[in-house]
Chains A and B, each alone.
Chain A
Amino acid sequence: MRTLRKGAPLLALMTAMTMALPASAQDASKISEDPLELTIHFHFRDKYVYSEKWPVEQKAAEITNIHVRNVASLATTSSRDAFNLLIASGDLPDIVGGDANGGLKEDFIRYGLEGAFIPLDDLIEENAPHLKAFFDSHKDIRNAISGPDGKLYFIPYVPDGKYSRGWFIRQDWLDKLGLKQPETPEEVYEVLKAFRDKDPNGNGKKDEVPYFAREEIDAVRLINLWDARVSGSERYGDFALYDGQLRHPWAEENYKTGISNVAKWYKEGLIDKEIFTRGARSREYLLGNNLGGMTHDWFASTSTYNDALSPKIEGFALKPMLPPKTASGQRFEDSRRLRVQPVGWAISATNEHPVETIKYFDFWFSQQGRLLSNFGVEGKTYEMVDGKPQFKKEVLDNKDPVNAQLWAVGAQVPRGYWMDYEYERQWTNKIALDGIDLYDKCNCLKDEFMGVSLNAEEKATFDRYWPSLLTYMTEMQQTWILGAQDVNTGWDAYKKRLTALGYDEVIKMMQSAYDRQYKAAQ
């Protein structure tokens, strides 16, 4: 703890205020008798830092008597740089947290093992009932974020809700052409062909783009129709679980079938010609100009185009639909929301108050802390209606998105907290909620691969082989889809090359790391 200077008068005032309140309401969650200041380095989304001025943080300080003072500089426009510079300086504040490009999980664990952050297991066991209860009931999450030594080095941001992306189709185009939502790969083919040929946008030109996607991960999503998977998690090109066996989806036989069909469709003009170059603006451009027919994208944001575009395009209806059945007759959705985000906060080895700090972390997993971190301050952003938090009307009707308003008051920021899906549901469009309902009934999600923590030896194997393997696989994926080479003739050579580049070594290493992390602990 550092000496109090600037905040001292304010703190004195706050202490006076809390003392005036009935003692019983406060004592339960007060962590320290005297106000205790902890320093924090917390830079996130490349432009924000933790702030003691956030109403949410002030409320938390009032309840816990822990005052968190930020030391991260706002002058940096990269959270990754801010974090790396902090680590390189060696002078760590009491708490280090936030997010960064690529996540901080591996950093917390790596530098934790090197002695920068302390393991939290014993602290949680003895001092943090809410965290303990959470991890006891979410063993997979605990496993997923443990280090190779089985210890916890950080408290993560835990998202809620199961669904991220789904299939969307222009229902008004289907109706116009007298088609129904496609149920099999053959039907998808027919629908996309009709979109291409029958001028559903009615401008007399053959300019429709039957299937398009905004992100790389969705560009090849159509391979799902032949049972192939794009990724085992929300990370593009991640490993996937096949009945507890870890393999890479891009080395599976069904991937070959999928790519070969997608390449055929690409050649026939059923897939956006510029799918790999159009980038983030493609959804807005293709929907806004009444050109795009079908896509795979995030439920919430994609549904809002219905509101935005229906005044402009008559009858515009972009509806979520169930994943079509695959060639083998199954139905599955490849993507799902991460169960745990690789961000959060950790306690430095130099922190002189680890017990108070873990209690402070614990506070955010308590009922009170969850309400605060999800909905903001009661009476300001939300109110309790029948014992449930309900956003105020002015928050829901504000022209700024609800999440942006919450970030401004310090809620929904990537501290170690547990999200409540209810927060998102309250401002999610009806069409998206219907879509999520549809997917919920289908119950067709695949197991998520939640990542493994590698020890030094495994990391060396991974670093030696994996970057080249991933580069090669991504390269071949595009080469095949764009038609420069044929996957059917090139597959055997591809598999041989993967072996030569060390695919088997990587998979063996990943499997043993996975078994250690997820199976031993059970």
Chain B
Amino acid sequence: MKQTYQERLHDLWGDMRRDWQLYLLLAPMAIWFALFLYKPMYGLVIAFQDFSIFRGIEKSPWVGFANFVELFQNDMFIRAFWNTITISGLGLIFAFPVPIILALMFNEVQNEVARRWAQTIVYLPHFISVVIVAGIVINFLSPSIGIVNLFLKSLGLESIYFLTQPEWFRPIFIGSSVWKESGFESIVYLAAIAGVSPTLYESARVDGASRWQMMWRITLPCILPTIVIMLIIRIGNLVEVGFEYIILLYRPSTYESADVVSTFIYRTGLQGTQYDLATAAGLFNAVIAFVLVYSANRISRRVSSTSLW
């Protein structure tokens, strides 16, 4: 049954009159979105301008796609783009499963006190500022006084100046991010596990299933929708790598593997005040992210019938 546009609008108006309290509750969030996420989108037009903050958006001259052309002619940008994809891709492979495994492990801990302790300990790093985490990492990996190198030396190995070697950057970055965030990310999965109906486990136990079988056959399939949603979100962020942490850890000698789009934007856009170019880079990123999320969502809907929308 197809409704016309007018009929739909009429229905919506009827809904709003009837459930106005609910719409009122929705209003603050809707206004917030409009003001802080939709209105700033207007600023994206500077990606197509030769922008000057003094002239403003209205008076800056239009240059079409010149900023994008400049971006793609810049092989530092191309390198930064591939580095972003690589770091996020590796993160997806190595870091994404960790919170799931953690959550499953917590779920299996029998002793309540031990479980609480373990959970708190793995959450804690999330609340430490990245600046401090970077400081800890730098100190741990210091070639003269770092604990890692002291250990290597005690084994009779050469000490390694980790943070200046491009090949070490990604393992260090992803490893320390896992340490910092996976505990906190496991909360979502723990909540999903808590939502699994106990009757399933009871009947499995009656059928004589082992804990291992219960985990594989009950827990995992039940939290799969959550995993898929988290995965789609993560794929959407594939072209985003948090730049604060990278800036704190990278050096010119590791740019080769560490320079990502956001740090490129930071260096050329903010330090070099080329706002138009930086916006073009950001817009390009957002378009890629949108395509990725959209396709991930399509695939997921077709394969597992779970989707974000």
Name the residue of chain A whose CB is nearest to the CB of B162: A277
Q: Mark B242-267, 1 if CB is under 8 A from A, else 0.
A: 00000000011101100100000001
Contact of A467 among B161, B252, B272 (CB under 8 A): B272
Interface majority SS on A: helix, strand, loop or mixed? helix
- Mask, A264-305, CB within 8 Å of B = 1, is 000000000110110000000000000000000000000000
- Is A20 interfacial (CB-CB < 8 Å)? no
Give complex CA distance A463, B54 in Å.
19
Inter-chain contacts of B54 with A (CB < 8 A): 87-88, 90, 111, 114-116
Are A90 and B75 CB-contacts (below 8 A) given A276-B164, A464-B70?
Answer: no
Of A277, A468, A472, A474, the most chain B CB neighbours within 10 A belong to: A277
Q: Given A110-B52, A475-B255, are A277 and B75 also a contact pair (CB < 8 Å)? A: no
Contact A478 B251 (CB under 8 A): yes
Kindly identify, within residues 444 to 486 of chain A, every residue whose CB is under 8 Å from any CB belonging to chain B: 463-464, 467-468, 471-472, 474-475, 477-479, 482, 484
Q: Is the beta-carbon distance between B143 and A475 smaller than 8 angstroms?
A: no
Interface string of B134-176 (1 = CB under 8 A from A): 0000100011100000000000000001011110000000000
Asked if B55 is at the interface of the complex by the 8 Å CB criterion, the answer is yes
Which positions 213-267 of chain B face chain A at CB distance < 8 Å?
251-253, 255-256, 259, 267
For the complex, give the distance between the alpha carbons of A484 and B167 in Å. 11
Q: Does A84 contact B (CB under 8 A)?
A: yes
Say if the beta carbon of B268 comes within 8 Å of chain A. Answer: yes
| Minimal beta-carbon separation of B273 from chain A (angstroms) | 8
Picked from A273, A471, A501, the residue with its CB within 8 Å of the CB of B144 is: A273
What residue of chain A has the Cβ atom nearest to residue B76's Cβ?
Answer: A468
A102, CB-defined interface residue at 8 Å: yes
**Is there contact, CB below 8 Å, between B252 and A273?**
no
Question: Does the CB pair A90–B253 fall under 8 Å?
Answer: no
Q: Which residues of B contact A478 (CB under 8 A)?
A: 164, 251-253
The answer, among A88, A274, A471, for a CB contact under 8 Å with B142, is A274
- Assess the B253–A482 pair: CB atoms within 8 A: yes
B31-62 Cβ-contact flags toward A at 8 Å (1 or 0): 00000000000000000000011111000000
A471 touches B52 (CB 8 A): no
- Hey, which chain B residues are within 8 Å of A501, CB to CB? 75
Which of these, B55, B70, B267, B274, contacts A114 with CB under 8 Å? B55
Residues of B within 8 A of A472 (CB): 76
Inter-subunit contact B56/A90 (CB<8 Å): yes
Contacts of A110 in B (CB 8 A): 52
Look across to chain A and name the residue whose beta carbon is closest to the beta carbon of B277.
Answer: A463
The minimal Cβ–Cβ distance linking A376 to chain B, given in whole angstroms, is 35
Complex Cα gap A273–B146 (Å): 12
Asked if A463 and B272 sit within 8 Å, CB to CB, the answer is yes
Give the shortest distance, in Å, between A43 (CB) and chain B (any CB). Answer: 16
| Residue in B closest to A278 when the chains form the complex, CB atoms | B142
Q: Please name all residues of chain B whose beta carbon is closer than 8 Å to the beta carbon of A463 when the two chains form the complex.
A: 272, 274, 277
Provide the bound-state CA to CA distance between A22 and B142, in Å. 69
Alpha-carbon gap, A87 to B56, bound state (A): 9
Query: Any chain A CB within 8 A of the CB of B74?
Result: yes
Q: What A residues does B129 contact at CB under 8 A?
A: none
Within 8 A of B (CB), among A400-445: none
Given A463-B274, A467-B268, the answer on whether A277 and B53 have CB atoms closer than 8 Å is no
Distance from B35 Cβ to chain A, minimum over Cβ atoms (Å)? 18
**How far apart sit A477 and B164, CA to CA, in the bound complex (Å)?**
12
- Is B203 part of the contact surface with A, judged by Cβ < 8 Å? no
C-alpha gap A467/B161 in the complex (Å) = 27
Q: In the complex, how many angstroms separate the beta carbon of B246 from the nearest chain A beta carbon?
A: 14
Partner of B161, one of A274, A474, A475: A274
B255 engages A274 (CB within 8 Å): no
Residues of B within 8 A of A276 (CB): 164, 251-253
Q: Closest B residue to A102 by CB, please name it.
A: B271
B residues in contact with A467, CB < 8 Å = 76, 267-268, 272
A277 and B164: CB pair below 8 A? yes
A106: nearest chain-B partner, CB-CB: B273
* Chain A residues within 8 Å of B274, by CB: 463
* Alpha-carbon gap, A316 to B54, bound state (A): 54
Tell me the bound Cα distance from A181 to B246 in angstroms: 42
**Complex Cα gap A26–B242 (Å):** 60
How far is it, in angstroms, between the C-alpha of A110 and the C-alpha of B52 when the chains are bound?
Answer: 9
Closest to B73 in A: A464
Contact check, A273 vs B161: say whether CB atoms are below 8 A apart. yes
- Complex CA gap A84/B144 in Å reads 42
- Distance in angstroms between the alpha carbons of A412 and B297 in the assembled complex: 60
Inter-chain CA distance A111–B52, complex, in Å, is 8
Q: Are B267 and A88 in contact (CB under 8 A)?
A: no
- Measured between beta carbons, the chain A residues less than 8 angstroms from B73 are 464
List, sorted by A's number, 11 A–B pairs whose CB atoms are closer than 8 Å: A102-B271, A273-B144, A274-B143, A276-B251, A463-B272, A467-B268, A468-B76, A471-B255, A471-B267, A479-B253, A482-B164
Q: Identify the A interface with B (CB < 8 A).
A: 84, 87-88, 90, 102, 110-111, 114-116, 273-274, 276-277, 463-464, 467-468, 471-472, 474-475, 477-479, 482, 484, 501
Binding site for A on B (CB under 8 A): 52-56, 70, 73-76, 138, 142-144, 161, 163-166, 251-253, 255-256, 259, 267-268, 271-274, 277
> 9 closest A-B pairs (Cβ-Cβ)?
A478-B253, A474-B252, A468-B76, A88-B53, A475-B252, A111-B54, A475-B255, A478-B252, A273-B143
